[in-house]
Amino acid sequence: MNDKQGSWTLKKDRCKNCNICISFCPAGSLVIDEDGFPRQSEEIKCRQCGLCERWCPDFAIEVGGVFGAK
Ligand code: SF4
Ligand code: SF4
């Protein structure tokens, strides 16, 4: 678990900018960046709950790991 703490990864080529992840984030740590993609806020810390990964319809988010590393 320790080696995966604190990571949140977006695969932009899968993201359709639907903002579902932002709506479901209980921490409010996701914001829309200037390109329209979700990113982590600098002020609010991600809780690593995994909800955004679970609800993203396009499998564009990975929490607690790096794409391709599993
Ligand atoms: S839910 Fe998935 S597809 Fe929608 S904005 Fe978030 S990362 Fe992109
Ligand atoms: S893992 Fe949880 S707290 Fe972190 S961005 Fe996703 S929904 Fe928000």
pLDDT in tens, 32-44: 999 999 999 999 9
Whether the pLDDT of residue 7 is over 70: the answer is yes
Residue 15 vs residues 3, 5, 21, 35, 69: alpha-carbon distances, Å: 26, 23, 10, 12, 19
Q: What is the dihedral of CA 43, 25, 10, 54, to 10 degrees?
A: 160
- For residue 54, report the distance from its CA to the centre of ligand 2, in Å: 10
The protein residue with its alpha carbon nearest to ligand 2, atom 7, reads 25
Q: What is the mean pLDDT of the chain?
A: 88
45 touches ligand 2 (CB under 6 Å): no
Q: How confident is the model at residue 2 (pLDDT cuts 50, 70, 90)?
A: very low
- For residue 52, report the distance from its CA to the centre of ligand 2, in Å: 6
Q: Are strands 8-10 and 30-32 parallel, antiparallel or unpaired?
A: unpaired
Predicted confidence at residue 5, as pLDDT, reads 52
Delimit the domains of the chain by residue range.
2-57
CATH assignment of 2-57, given 1.10.238.10, 3.40.640.10, 3.40.50.150, 3.30.70.20? Answer: 3.30.70.20
The string of pLDDT tens digits covering residues 10-38 is 999 999 999 999 999 999 999 999 999 99
The atom of ligand 2 lying closest to the CA of 61 is: 6
